[in-house]
Amino acid sequence: MKKALQFYTAQRKKLLAFQYVGFLTSWDAQTEAAPGSIEADSAYQAVLSEMSYRLTTDPEFERCVEELYQQREGLDDVLRHEIEVMRKSISDAKKIPMEDYVAFSELTSRAYPVYVRAKQTGDFGLFRPYLEKIVDYCRKQTEWLATDDLKGYDVLLDRYEPHYTQKKYDAFFNVLRERLVPFVKQKTACPAPVPEWAKQKFDVSKQRVFCEYIRDVMCFDKNFGVMKESEHPFTSGIGTDDVRITTHYYEDDLVSSIFSVIHETGHATYERQCDPSLNGTLCGGGASLGMHESQSRFYENIIGRSSAFWQAHYPVLQKTFAPQLDGVSLGEFMSYVNRVEASFVRTEADELTYPLHILLRYEIEQKLLNGSLAVEDLPSYWNSKFTEYFGITPPNDTVGVLQDVHWAYGDIGYFPTYALGSAISAQLYHAMSKDFDVEKSLLSGTTKQINQWLGEHVHKYGSSKYPDEILRIATGEDFDPNYYVDYLIKKYSKDNLA
């Protein structure tokens, strides 16, 4: 076993080095690189990805993983988990025929520009033949990768969020359908108009100053991560000591950059607070997409849109933008940042209506996979379901079925993790509130106590355990979507959110 372990750890070091290069180059491409450089750079990318593919498919590496797996009882917990996960990903990769794998990556790279054109022109017909092939491939994938426990759509769901299958998601989305859909209808019947003060222009350099202040409020140590600008905000990094975020400033929107910085700093705090002993292993970083999103949304919505948070920081915002906000009370500001309205586009949706956008996508993916919905009927199905849930009908496919890029990338099974993350954040909030007064801690001016609780109960495990295990350790319970719906209904039933 000693020899296998030596080979494994040496190979893992190389894999991490490729991850590091991948992280740096994609960070560069999205923040600094000139648009004209992308084409030339992608030739180097192809070489690197082939080299890293060779490392994971090396027969000697596979043999060592198998030997370690057979003797896993003798390994420490972290390495045992890592070997289990690695063995499954090697075995999955081998089950997919090479020529299909290559054909699919060619298909998605050809599908992307067509999707962009289809979205721009609102012409679903352009994208339809590509989506049909993508769905076909995903169906074949569910057959190749099926196990005794996982079949059909479950195979895909498990790839994005381990152990969350249709049984769990159905229970979750049924609660949303039964309890949240009627509540949302009632709340969106007559939306409050956007207040006049929010329609002003807000100096971007002042927004920058306030966003740096917010990072201090969230106790992010700037020695270990920069903040830059990109078209779409994101977080990336490697290990606990290099965690970077981006944001996007809009002159005509005061709060967009603030909430994206809170969201991304939430992701970054998760990465920062993993146990440093996980650096150099494959168990560093967040446990899953849903778990990561639970952290960013916890900070963005539960903390960042709470009255206690802004009681401490609204005076600073007012001062930064003086005299623009002089006549705007804290109550008016709170109503604005928690404004609810039925809208067509998921990425622009508010906290309350957001999960219904995911419910719609989940139902559609389920039907596409089991064959009860054909791709050609997708736009009309989308529109009629959308009308049923939101009471409004998309005027075109650009803001309807074509709005998200995920399916063009071949990502079917990804969407549900977004809503799951929000729901997990509410369950964590419930558990945290038993240990200390969260609102009171926010009045002190920083999120220090919250960071500490999440660090101790969630972050420190990194991805050394499965996400459902971490949730059980942190809250003492399995996933329960009722915490989320209770939280939303309680918050949005108040007349005055301040």
Provide the 10 A C-beta neighbour count for residue 349: 19
**Nearer Cβ to Zn ion, position 296 or 427?**
296
User: Closest separation between CB of residue 263 and Zn ion, Å?
Assistant: 6
**Nearer Cβ to Zn ion, position 292 or 313?**
292
Which residue spans within 28-166 are E strands per DSSP?
A: none
Show the binding pattern over residues 39-78: x = contacts Zn ion (CB under 5 A), - = does not. Answer: ----------------------------------------
User: Alpha-carbon distance 388 to 380, whole Å?
Assistant: 12
Residue at token pair 């996007």: 248
User: Closest separation between CB of residue 245 and Zn ion, Å?
Assistant: 10
Does 296 sit near Zn ion (CB under 5 A)? yes
- Is the peptide bond prior to 323 cis by the omega test (within 30 degrees of 0)? yes
Residue nearest to Zn ion according to CB distances in the complex:
296
Angle between helices 330-337 and 307-320 (to 10 degrees): 110
Does 295 sit near Zn ion (CB under 5 A)? no
Stretch that binds Zn ion, among 100-108, 193-201, 292-300, 309-317 (CB under 5 A): 292-300
Stretch that binds Zn ion, among 39-47, 71-79, 222-230, 294-302 (CB under 5 A): 294-302
Stretch that binds Zn ion, among 64-72, 202-210, 224-232, 290-298 (CB under 5 A): 290-298
User: Closest separation between CB of residue 267 and Zn ion, Å?
Assistant: 6
User: Closest separation between CB of residue 421 and Zn ion, Å?
Assistant: 8
Token duo for residue 366: 């389920």
Stretch that binds Zn ion, among 157-165, 288-296, 357-365, 486-494 (CB under 5 A): 288-296
**Known catalytic residue: 82?**
no
User: Alpha-carbon distance 380 to 374, whole Å?
Assistant: 11
- The candidate with the shortest Cα–Cα distance to 244, out of 8, 37, 30, is 30
Q: Which of residues 174-213 bind Zn ion (CB under 5 A)?
A: none
Task: Count residues near Zn ion (CB under 5 A).
Answer: 1
**Nearer Cβ to Zn ion, position 246 or 464?**
246
Angle between helices 59-70 and 77-95 (to 10 degrees): 130
Residue at token pair 């996980």: 278
Stretch that binds Zn ion, among 97-105, 136-144, 295-303, 480-488 (CB under 5 A): 295-303
**Nearer Cβ to Zn ion, position 27 or 321?**
27
**Nearer Cβ to Zn ion, position 268 or 325?**
268
Is the CB of residue 453 less than 8 Å from the CB of residue 470?
no
User: Closest separation between CB of residue 122 and Zn ion, Å?
Assistant: 28
Does 422 sit near Zn ion (CB under 5 A)? no
**Nearer Cβ to Zn ion, position 291 or 369?**
291
Is the CB of residue 319 less than 8 Å from the CB of residue 280?
no
**Distance (Å) of CA 420 to CA 291, 364, 485:** 8, 17, 12
Residue partners of 348: CB distance under 8 A and separation at least 6: none
- The candidate with the shortest Cα–Cα distance to 162, out of 288, 294, 291, is 288
User: Closest separation between CB of residue 259 and Zn ion, Å?
Assistant: 11
**Nearer Cβ to Zn ion, position 225 or 400?**
225
| Burial letters 449-471, b for 16+ CB under 10 A, else e | bbbebbbebbbbbbbbbbbbebb
Q: Which of residues 431-460 bind Zn ion (CB under 5 A)?
A: none
Is the CB of residue 342 less than 8 Å from the CB of residue 390?
yes
Is the CB of residue 217 less than 8 Å from the CB of residue 447?
yes
Environment class of 60 (CB within 10 Å of its CB; exposed 0-12, middle 13-18, buried 19+): exposed
Provide the 10 A C-beta neighbour count for residue 122: 16
Is the CB of residue 260 less than 8 Å from the CB of residue 250?
no
Show the binding pattern over residues 260-279: x = contacts Zn ion (CB under 5 A), - = does not. Answer: --------------------
**Nearer Cβ to Zn ion, position 65 or 291?**
291
User: Closest separation between CB of residue 359 and Zn ion, Å?
Assistant: 19
User: Closest separation between CB of residue 296 and Zn ion, Å?
Assistant: 4
Provide the 10 A C-beta neighbour count for residue 340: 16
Catalytic residue among 264, 271, 293, 341: 264
| Interface positions with Zn ion (CB under 5 A) | 296
Annotated catalytic residues are 264
